[in-house]
A and B are shown apart, each in its own frame.
Chain A
């Protein structure tokens, strides 16, 4: 079952328009990256998908049902949102408490709570930090605490806002493993990101936004191949993909292995 936005529009109380009518459907198990400049409306769009913001007009349905009458906490059971800045999300005084917040709020029985928290801590690689105050942890580990707090739930949609920002190679590998696991479980993953290498290597579909609207929606190859979209959404193709274009190779090659495979052997 999908998430569906129909001409969803959001304006702040002072009238400033943040999203000017977006329409798209994201189906089960898809991996979708939403890309575009700062201020293009990406974060507002995903916040409407999980009920943090209510559209000023237009609609959002999750699994075919309108969510306008539901509380944010209720929608968050289905659609998890990992904030860009973990400090905006985390408020527990220790990591254990942060991960237990959702199960306690929804009054899960203890066995289920313990099991889900244990599993989420393991997946997010934060098992060694459970007794610590999140505020004492480095930024990158806090990001995994924020991810862990969402993994505890039984969300069928997980939204990650700039998950790779500030992560090193180990962090990127861990994130990759988490996303692979979610894929195996059939969970839909939606990300907002400026990291085009991450988009090319990890996601199937790209939604490009500019000036508060969707300007392209297609496969990674399709969207990166369009010069007008790259220009308007101020995207920067992955270096490897831009190199392939510079050399006049297949404009649809966006992944490292694809480009490597296109390079002819040298004379030597």
Chain B
């Protein structure tokens, strides 16, 4: 059974004159990492809100079509129950941080307290996650005094701590440096290995190419394409959706236009290196430095 099943789903926010989602048909299978890509305002965050059930339970508006999570129609879910079974990281950490907790430790524990987890287990899990995310130095700080990047890590850690079977993550690295972004992605990959199903909105396409199993391409509220990452990254739908490709993919496409294609189109640097290396060995006069 699909984890989430959307059939011809549309949603229009109350007071909006146009739908934010149109004719969305999508099956999310368990155990995979789905990347959602698209321009700003293409409906990515609204799709996330449907997937975690805050549409229609908290955002007023008109939902059409059929949407079910774990086989139960979205409208039949108890909102509290649903929020406990789907973890969610907000795009803007300034929105997610509760503002009511005085330390990072308590902030991360908040979700587990709401799940009525045993206090001893809360301490153990929060400490474990704090180390995994690498924020022990922030543990006793006030969340309101953290930098944007630090808050983003705390918001992410809070969701990791909840250990949900299904997490929806909206731009977790927008304010992080490259090293920390990679770390967040490797933690997400670790969640997937433990069987967590993940939907991830992210602009960093190189990381998506490396980690996502499938990509969902959105434009103007519609899903233009859904498919294996490798196929989607060379699809014209990315141009229509105004989404950047990995630079190495662009490079291969530029070689194709030069009438000089590679045997296949790489989506990661490692693949590009493998495909280009034989060509350089055959061309001893190439601009080598060593």
What residues of B have a CB within 8 angstroms of the CB of A247 in the complex? 273, 276-277, 280
| A199, B247: Cα distance in complex, Å | 14
Nearest chain A CB to B27's CB is how many angstroms away? 26
Query: Would you call the interface of chain A mostly helix, strand, loop, or mixed?
Result: loop
Q: A139-B91, A239-B246, A266-B260 are in contact. Are A38 and B176 (CB under 8 A)?
A: yes
- CB–CB B175/A140 < 8 A: no
Contacts of B260-290 to chain A: CB distance below 8 A: 260-262, 269, 272-273, 276-277, 279-280, 282-283, 285-290
In contact, B255 and A263 (Cβ under 8 angstroms) = yes
Docked-complex contact A239 and B269, CB < 8 angstroms: yes
Across the interface, do B243 and A169 meet the contact criterion of CB distance under 8 Å? yes
**Cβ contact of B283, chosen from A85, A234, A264, cutoff 8 A:** A264
Contact A264 B286 (CB under 8 A): yes
The answer to the question of B123 belonging to the interface, with a C-beta cut-off of 8 Å to chain A, is no
In the assembled complex, A162 has its CB within 8 A of some CB on chain B: yes
With contacts A249-B289, A263-B276 known, is A194 near B39, CB below 8 A? no
User: Which chain B residues border A138 with CB–CB below 8 Å?
Assistant: 40-41
**Separation in Å of the B198 CB from the closest CB of chain A?**
20
| Residues A166 and B203 in contact in the complex (CB < 8 Å), given A37-B179, A256-B247 | yes
Cβ B148 vs Cβ A243 within 8 A: no
Task: Assess the B94–A85 pair: CB atoms within 8 A.
Answer: yes
What is the CA–CA distance of A12 and B215 in the complex, to the nearest angstrom? 45
- Proximity bits, B70-95, A CB within 8 Å = 1, else 0: 00000000000000000000011010
Residue B178 CB within 8 A of the other chain: yes
Task: Check A260 for interface membership: any CB of B closer than 8 A.
Answer: yes
Q: Is the CB of A240 within 8 A of B276?
A: no
Interface size on B, residues (CB 8 A): 52
* 0/1 interface trace, chain A 37-60, chain B, CB 8 Å (1 if under): 111000000000000000000000
**Contact with B175, one of A84, A239, A240 (Cβ below 8 angstroms):** A84
Check B40 against A140 for contact (C-beta < 8 Å): yes
Number of interface residues of A (CB under 8 A): 47
- Which chain B residues numbered 168 to 223 have a C-beta less than 8 Å away from chain A? 171, 174-182, 203, 206
Complex CA gap A260/B250 in Å reads 10
Q: Are B280 and A162 in contact (CB under 8 A)?
A: no
A178 interfacial contact with B, CB 8 Å: no
Whether B225 sits at the interface, judged by CB under 8 Å, is: no
Q: Is the CB of A248 within 8 A of B280?
A: yes
Are A165 and B251 in contact (CB-based, < 8 A)? Answer: no
Known: A85-B94, A249-B287, A249-B289. A169 touches B244 (CB 8 A): yes
Given A139-B91, A264-B283, 5 more A-B residue pairs with CB atoms under 8 Å apart are: A166-B91, A170-B39, A248-B288, A259-B251, A265-B283
Show the binding face of A for B, using Cβ within 8 Å: 36-39, 84-85, 87, 138-141, 162, 165-172, 194, 196-197, 234-236, 238-240, 242-243, 246-251, 256, 259-260, 262-268
Query: Which residue numbers of B lie inside 8 Å of A, CB to CB?
Result: 38-42, 91-92, 94, 147-150, 171, 174-182, 203, 206, 242-244, 246-248, 250-251, 254-255, 260-262, 269, 272-273, 276-277, 279-280, 282-283, 285-290
